[in-house]
Structure 1
Amino acid sequence: MHTATALEDVCARARDLEAVALDTEFVWERTYYPALGLVQMGLGGGDIVLIDTVALEGELGPLGNLLEDESVVKILHDATQDLQILARATDAHPRRAYDTQRAGGFVGLTATTSLQDLVEWGVGLRLDKGETRSNWLRRPLSESQQEYAAADVRYLHELRTKQLAKAEELGRTGWVEDEMTRYDDPDLYLESDPDEAVNRVKVRGIGRMSGRQRAVLRTVSAWREVEARKLDRTRRMVLPDEMLAKIADYGPGSFDDLSSLKMTDRQISRYGDGVLEAVQLGIEAEPEDRPRRGRPGPEEFRQQARLQIAQGFLVGRCERSGVDPILVATKSQLGDLVEAGPDAVQAEMSGWRYEFAGRDLEAVLRGDVGVRLDPEDGWPDVAT
């Protein structure tokens, strides 16, 4: 499908349905943002449409209207990235998404199960993933590419039906519905904070930097993030991580200083002013705390022990119930909860999470109950 009229017609048909399956194919090698090449739409019953976003040149208004239509469920697998790409391409705020990958974590699978494995579980077929690294911007698309793309939405309706039936059998329909509201959150579709881009810098020696150097690394990383977005180029194409680390180490104050760090004349001409301004901002900022080095102290050992007890309880509760622990709390989230204490649990683990595990976790952190191995199945649980 490569005309605006055809797109409008298929989106009108889709908006008359209870649910529609969606997927995207894109190229993400030399750009900051994924370059969208194709949108697959499954209308059910084998009715699949391939939307040629290259031919449509970004004129995707009807698709945006479908994404925002709260009367239609949008079924995707591993939904976050696809929804973010679609939201940016259509300037729409997606509503009522259903993620077959995340839903799997409620019905005895993991919340990171691949589509290939999920189709094998739900349909008994093994998808061919031979076109994973295709160039989805080149035209014409081959028959193999088109079949591969269509297969990504062909079974999503069936998988959702099977998952919901299993969730109802387990009494977890409300849990699944509650979990899918995460995709309605407008914050999911916002640009990340450039100030946090420093966490993406991966070079040796960062842990040895002084507080001042770490502050400079943060401001220079934020500058690079903004510049990469503006140019729609990869971060490395602006400046590689290794160069950011050099800049943070030496704190250059002039173009000559940048040249001594082996920045090219082209880089200096294009980015020099921005880099030097970012360096100055870092120098003027509060020095950042350095990571604590050496042997952990007694309180850190106690904190680690509390975390291990909480992890043991949570894993036991989830494994016994066939729920993926990552749906309840990631290791990082659990660590923050243990550090914050029991009074933080209900606010951070609201809804189904609190009823399923949060209430007992609260009691564990307060010391009201202990954790022991269940003699029947061997999994940790609260001692009663």
Structure 2
Amino acid sequence: MAVHFHEEDLPAGVLADGPIAVDTETMGLVTPRDRLCVVQLSDGHGDEHLVRFRVGSSYDAPNLKAALADPARLKLYHFARFDLAAIEHYLGVTAAPVFCTKIASKLTRTYTDRHGLKNLVQELLGGEISKAQQSSDWGAPEINEAQREYAASDVRFLHRLHAIFVERLAREGRTEMAQACFDFLPTRARLDLAGWAENDIFSHA
């Protein structure tokens, strides 16, 4: 298992076929304001790939964009809504089809309100991940080893969690409902980008 660091694009041919786990690191939580700094990917075979974009980047990353936009390749996320918005705004592609472990957790782990990735890894996989670098400076000139390990850990477990949640959704009779949610997520991300992040357009208000 290794963490591979790349500048500005993903090398060609480094990902195996099949689903890929995806995550992003940005300068903050306001997507149009806070630039995309890192995209993390894993094909589930033991390695993680981090693609870093420096300040002023043109985000011209053809290999990365091709993988993210591939309609035949499932993308696994934890809180896909945020990552989809960042990827669409900065890279200009819709990184779908989608499976979101946070939504799957909320639909199946109704016995708890703890749906963070750290909680899922602890309960379902018996592992531990550190969130110490979550709020660190991802736009710094150098991304240190602690940041790289944190970024890699955000995609390292998603394939295993995906397999568990596929079974749990089926067990609870919520597979179809989950799929409808996943299919809507790119539109939900576009609503966020267009200014409807907090207003529920489905409400009576």
Q: What TM-score range do you get, normalising by the shorter chain?
A: 0.7 to 0.9
CA gap 1:176/1:67 in 2 versus in 1, 3 angstroms: same
How far apart are 1:170 and its partner, in Å? 2.4
TM-score normalised by L of structure 1: 0.46
SS in 1 for 2:173: coil
Q: Which residue of 2 aligns with 1:2?
A: 6
Deviations 1:28-76 (A, max 9, x none): 3899522111111111132111111228922223222222211111111
Work out whether residues 3 and 56 of structure 1, in 8 Å CA contact, stay in contact via their aligned partners in 2.
Answer: no
Which aligned pairs between 1:266-345 and structure 2 lie closer than 5 A?
Answer: 336=204
TM-score normalised by L of structure 2: 0.82
Q: 2-side partners of 1:81 and 1:29: how far apart?
A: 8
Deviations 1:238-271 (A, max 9, x none): xxxxxxxxxxxxxxxxxxxxxxxxxxxxxxxxxx
Unaligned segments of structure 2, at least 5 residues: none
1:67 is aligned to 2:68: yes
One-letter amino acid of the structure 2 residue matched with residue 160 of structure 1: H
CA gap 1:2/1:165 in 2 versus in 1, 3 angstroms: same
How far apart are 1:112 and its partner, in Å? 6.8
How far apart are 1:8 and its partner, in Å? 4.0
CA gap 1:56/1:96 in 2 versus in 1, 3 angstroms: farther
SS in 1 for 2:10: helix
One-letter amino acid of the structure 2 residue matched with residue 158 of structure 1: R
Q: 2-side partners of 1:42 and 1:154: how far apart?
A: 7
CA gap 1:29/1:78 in 2 versus in 1, 3 angstroms: closer
The structure whose Rg is larger is: 1
Q: Which residue of 1 aligns with 2:97?
A: 96
One-letter amino acid of the structure 2 residue matched with residue 139 of structure 1: P
Q: Which residue of 2 aligns with 1:157?
A: 159
How far apart are 1:107 and its partner, in Å? 1.3
Q: 2-side partners of 1:89 and 1:32: how far apart?
A: 9
Q: Which residue of 2 aligns with 1:20?
A: 20
> Would you say how many aligned residue pairs link Structure 1 and Structure 2?
198
Work out whether residues 2 and 53 of structure 1, in 8 Å CA contact, stay in contact via their aligned partners in 2.
Answer: no
Q: 2-side partners of 1:184 and 1:129: how far apart?
A: 26
* Higher RCO (CA-CA < 8 Å; seq separation 6+): 2
Unaligned segments of structure 1, at least 5 residues: 201-329, 340-384
Percent of paired sites with the same residue: 25
Higher strand share: 2
Deviations 1:292-319 (A, max 9, x none): xxxxxxxxxxxxxxxxxxxxxxxxxxxx
Higher helix share: 1
Q: Which residue of 2 aligns with 1:374?
A: none
CA gap 1:134/1:176 in 2 versus in 1, 3 angstroms: same
How far apart are 1:95 and its partner, in Å? 1.9
